[in-house]
């Protein structure tokens, strides 16, 4: 049984209970997620509230027939396919249904295996279309990087200049500012644009799993290694490898990364054979990597290797002049994705979107707009749907007083160090002992926070 079946959803529509139950049993035994209804009207209610990949509908039913249901699905639910099933006497009508967009038809008295074969063909076709669309998007990605902000313009200019080289690039910025979008932008404008772009979130894997993910493994290299696996370095050969959250890697992994970057060779886990690789490396982190190096939490030699060019992306709150265009972009994009039309955005909603602080940056803006589109009613984005977001903003009297957690920690830490310095009469050795850090770390903190 194909594991993809478990995510493929089928809706059966037939006013004959016995056939509905029989078909449901057959499809579920083959691993498909299946629901059944007894009329076209009930099917439309289901489709309005839930996504189905395929509708299997009888041609002749009381009330709405299969052709009428097909026409509505093709008009309002793009992405949902339809297979008509019928008896011998109405095959001609079933063929007509295919002209109106049905994937195929199935004669009820035939072997159900024929229907299962048609469903498998449909799944393969959908997979192929998805891969083609993904490949097209990778080759011709749409970047929303238009800006009126001078600081962001300079950042983009650095990215464009860096893209034509093979230099290793380190992208810095808060969570949600679009570091992966920038890395894809750099790849797209490079000579490697027609080669793979491989992204890895280092934070998403444990140390052991990350090593396997990056370098691959041989069959039997460890328990559960049932077959050879190609790692992300190999997959990125001749293309670009993007390592997100590089600051979350362990020292052991950092050593292996350093060796790979220097030698452009890897060894799969469980193998002594060196494999030559040619890749362009882009790394990113939302942490203060300079401080991590100073605190010996990130290898200095690796830092210099990955940061030939450093790009710092400003947070959204520092480029508010770009908000109108970004808001418009996400509304259009999400309307298209969700197949929902927005005709009116209430003035209070737009005022909120233009004045909100966005501690989660571009990612938060996108999530808010998506939520508003989902909750919209009769084409209207309503003020009531931003009430809980506004309550977060009102935790402080002014939205622009909200600080990110990292900024708040820095402020508290700076004030605390200043207090301890005073208590210890500015004796550096005594102060470092009280704080539980080395003198070198204390000096670094003083320089970082501009303390004397």
Query: Domain limits of the chain?
Result: 3-137, 150-312, 316-401, 405-449
- What burial class does residue 34 get, using C-beta atoms within 10 Å of its C-beta: 0-12 exposed, 13-18 middle, 19+ buried? buried
Q: What is the mean pLDDT of the chain?
A: 86
Q: Could you tell me which residues come within 8 angstroms of residue 271 by beta carbon, excluding any fewer than 6 positions away?
A: 218, 221
pTM score: 0.58
Query: Tell me, what DSSP letter sits at residue 269?
Result: B
Query: Tell me, what DSSP letter sits at residue 314?
Result: P
How far apart, in whole angstroms, are the C-alpha atoms of residue 270 and residue 217? 6
Backbone phi, then psi, for 346, in 5-degree steps? -60, 140
Domains 316-401 and 405-449 share a fold: no
How far apart, in whole angstroms, are the C-alpha atoms of residue 272 and residue 446? 47
**Mean per-residue pLDDT, 260-280:** 92
CATH superfamily for domain 3-137: Response regulator (3.40.50.2300)
- Among 53-57, 128-132, 231-235, the minimum mean pLDDT is found in 128-132
How far apart, in whole angstroms, are the C-alpha atoms of residue 231 and residue 25? 41
Would you state the structure tokens that stand for residue 36, as one six-digit string? 């059944």
Q: What is the pLDDT of residue 452?
A: 62
Quote the percentage of the chain above a pLDDT of 70: 89
Distance of CA 204 to the CA centre of its chain: 13
pLDDT digits (tens, 9 = 90+) for 169-218: 999 999 999 999 999 999 999 999 989 999 999 988 888 889 888 998 88
Q: What is the pLDDT of residue 417?
A: 85
Q: Which of 7-16, 386-395, 426-435 has maximum average pLDDT? A: 7-16
How far apart, in whole angstroms, are the C-alpha atoms of residue 107 and residue 162? 61
Q: Are 163 and 155 in contact (CB under 8 A)?
A: no
Q: Could you tell me which residues come within 8 angstroms of residue 14 by beta carbon, excluding any fewer than 6 positions away?
A: 20, 23, 36, 38, 57, 58, 61, 85
pLDDT reading at 135 higher than 90? no
Q: Are 103 and 74 in contact (CB under 8 A)?
A: no
Q: What is the pLDDT of residue 406?
A: 67
Run of H or E including 176: none
Q: Are 113 and 133 in contact (CB under 8 A)?
A: no
pLDDT reading at 305 higher than 80? yes
Q: What is the pLDDT of residue 390?
A: 60
- What burial class does residue 130 get, using C-beta atoms within 10 Å of its C-beta: 0-12 exposed, 13-18 middle, 19+ buried? exposed
pLDDT reading at 383 higher than 80? yes
Could you please state the CATH topology (level 3) that the domain comprising 316-401 is classified under.
Answer: Helicase, Ruva Protein; domain 3 (1.10.8)
pLDDT reading at 392 higher than 80? no
pLDDT reading at 445 higher than 70? yes
**Mean per-residue pLDDT, 403-410:** 67
Measured CA distances, 300 to 211, 286, 326, 354 (Å): 20, 17, 37, 41
Cα angle for residues 216, 247, 135 (degrees, 5° grid):
50
Of 232, 228, 168, the closest CA to residue 201 belongs to 232
**Mean per-residue pLDDT, 302-308:** 96
3-class SS of residue 85 = strand
- Among 72-76, 104-108, 218-222, the minimum mean pLDDT is found in 218-222
Q: How confident is the model at residue 428 (pLDDT cuts 50, 70, 90)?
A: confident
- b/e sequence 173-197, b meaning 16+ C-beta within 10 Å: bbbbbbbebbbbbbbbbbebbebbb
Q: What is the pLDDT of residue 400?
A: 45
pLDDT reading at 335 higher than 60? yes
pLDDT reading at 274 higher than 60? yes
Q: How confident is the model at residue 314 (pLDDT cuts 50, 70, 90)?
A: very high
Q: What is the pLDDT of residue 124?
A: 84
**Mean per-residue pLDDT, 322-341:** 89
**Mean per-residue pLDDT, 347-361:** 90
Q: How confident is the model at residue 424 (pLDDT cuts 50, 70, 90)?
A: confident
Between residues 431 and 5, which one has the greater pLDDT? 431
- Residue positions counted in the chain: 452
How far apart, in whole angstroms, are the C-alpha atoms of residue 314 and residue 163? 19
How far apart, in whole angstroms, are the C-alpha atoms of residue 218 and residue 240? 24
How many other C-beta atoms lie within 10 A of the C-beta of residue 139? Answer: 10
Q: How confident is the model at residue 4 (pLDDT cuts 50, 70, 90)?
A: very low
- Among 95-99, 117-121, 319-323, the minimum mean pLDDT is found in 95-99
Could you please state the CATH topology (level 3) that the domain comprising 150-312 is classified under.
Answer: Rossmann fold (3.40.50)
Statement: 405-449 belongs to CATH 1.10.10: yes
């Amino acid at each position: 049984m194909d594991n993809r079946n478990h995510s493929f959803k089928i809706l059966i529509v037939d006013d004959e209970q016995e056939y509905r139950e029989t078909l449901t049993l057959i499809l579920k035994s083959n691993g498909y997620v299946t629901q059944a209804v007894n009329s076209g009207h009930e099917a439309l209610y289901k489709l309005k509230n839930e996504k189905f990949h395929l509708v299997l509908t009888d041609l002749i039913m009381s009330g709405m027939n299969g052709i009428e249901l097909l026409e509505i699905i093709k008009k309002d639910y793009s992405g949902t396919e339809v297979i008509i099933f019928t008896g011998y006497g109405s095959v001609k009508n079933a063929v007509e249904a295919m002209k109106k967009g049905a994937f195929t038809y199935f004669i009820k008295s035939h072997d159900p295996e024929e229907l299962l074969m048609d469903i498998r063909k449909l799944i393969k076709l959908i997979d192929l279309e998805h891969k083609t669309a993904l490949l097209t998007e990778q080759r011709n990605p749409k970047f929303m990087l238009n800006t009126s902000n001078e600081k962001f313009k300079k950042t983009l200019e650095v990215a464009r200049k860096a893209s034509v080289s093979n230099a290793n690039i380190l992208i810095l910025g808060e969570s949600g500012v679009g570091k992966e979008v920038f890395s894809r932008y750099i790849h797209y404008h490079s000579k490697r644009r027609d080669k793979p772009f491989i992204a890895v979130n280092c934070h998403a894997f444990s140390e052991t799993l990350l090593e396997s993910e990056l370098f691959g493994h041989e069959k039997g290299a460890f328990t559960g290694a049932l077959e050879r696996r190609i790692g992300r370095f190999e997959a990125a050969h001749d293309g670009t490898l993007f390592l997100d959250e590089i600051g979350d890697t362990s020292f052991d992994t950092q050593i292996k990364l350093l060796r790979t970057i220097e030698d452009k060779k890897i060894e799969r886990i469980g193998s002594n054979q060196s494999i030559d690789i040619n890749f362009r490396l882009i790394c990113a982190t939302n942490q203060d990597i300079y401080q991590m190096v100073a605190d010996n939490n990130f290898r200095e030699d690796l830092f210099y290797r990955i940061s030939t060019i450093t790009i710092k992306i400003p947070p959204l709150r520092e480029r508010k002049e770009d908000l109108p265009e970004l808001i418009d972009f996400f509304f259009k994009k999400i309307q298209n994705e969700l197949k929902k039309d927005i005709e009116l955005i209430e003035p209070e909603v737009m005022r909120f979107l233009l004045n909100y602080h966005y501690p989660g940056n571009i990612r938060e803006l996108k999530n808010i707009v998506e939520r508003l589109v989902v909750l919209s009613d009769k084409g209207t984005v309503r003020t009531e749907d931003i009430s809980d977001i506004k309550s977060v903003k009102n935790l402080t009297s002014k939205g622009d007083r909200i600080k990110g957690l990292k900024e708040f920690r820095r402020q508290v830490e700076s004030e605390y160090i200043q207090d301890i310095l005073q208590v210890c009469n500015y004796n550096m050795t005594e102060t470092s002992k009280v704080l539980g850090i080395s003198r070198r770390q204390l000096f670094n903190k003083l320089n970082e926070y501009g303390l004397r």
